């Protein structure tokens, strides 16, 4: 479908480097505005490990942070694991489902990066990508905490998952 290898490399770089480009042009988040530029800048440039994002409902927080930022982290490091959690188990599953859709049929990501789904397929609560990425939901449902997404770095992965 895409003829120019240089264009594909350019798209890969833009998707991996710029959250705004990924969300607006690839994931097609049409309601992007100045406040989302500020959010993307905060996510990208803040050196803090934990970030508190206070924005009203309906301002694409879940779309940008849980979906877009998670996909961007995967595109930047194909040897990573991501833990998605929410106070409601089915909500966390819906986040994972939406990520799966964007990585298969809902965007042109597979045309740019190649197929993500591995030969064994994906489960409703865990996916392993062909490029050694793992996105999982916690075994135990979170009760009172509302952690939208938490990246497990490779160093933490071994201690947390073993």
Complete edge-to-edge strand list for the sheet that includes strand 134-136: 126-128, 134-136, 81-84, 149-152
Q: Which residue has the higher pLDDT, 142 or 55?
A: 55
Q: What is the pLDDT of residues 45-102, one digit of tens each?
A: 999 988 889 999 999 999 999 999 999 988 988 777 788 888 888 888 899 899 999 9
Find tokens 């997404």 and name the residue. Answer: 149
The model's pLDDT over 104-137, given as tens digits with 9 standing for 90+, comes to 899 999 999 888 877 677 777 777 776 655 666 5
Higher model confidence: residue 31 or residue 144? Answer: 31
What three-state secondary structure class fits 83? strand
**pTM (two decimals):** 0.78
């Amino acid at each position: 479908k895409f003829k120019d290898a240089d264009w594909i490399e350019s798209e890969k770089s833009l998707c991996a480097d710029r959250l705004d480009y990924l969300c607006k042009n690839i994931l097609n988040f049409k309601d992007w505005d100045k406040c989302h530029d500020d959010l993307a800048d905060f996510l990208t440039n803040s050196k803090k490990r934990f970030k508190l994002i206070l924005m009203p409902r309906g301002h694409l927080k879940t779309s940008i942070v849980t979906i877009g930022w998670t996909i961007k982290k995967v595109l930047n490091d194909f040897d990573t694991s991501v833990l998605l959690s929410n106070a409601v188990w089915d909500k966390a599953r819906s986040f994972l489902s939406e990520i799966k859709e964007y990585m298969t049929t809902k965007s042109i990501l597979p045309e740019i990066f190649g197929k993500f789904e591995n030969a064994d397929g994906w489960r409703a609560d865990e996916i392993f990508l062909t490029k050694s990425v793992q996105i999982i939901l916690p075994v135990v449902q979170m009760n009172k905490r509302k952690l939208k997404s938490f990246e497990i770095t490779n160093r933490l992965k071994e201690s947390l998952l073993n």
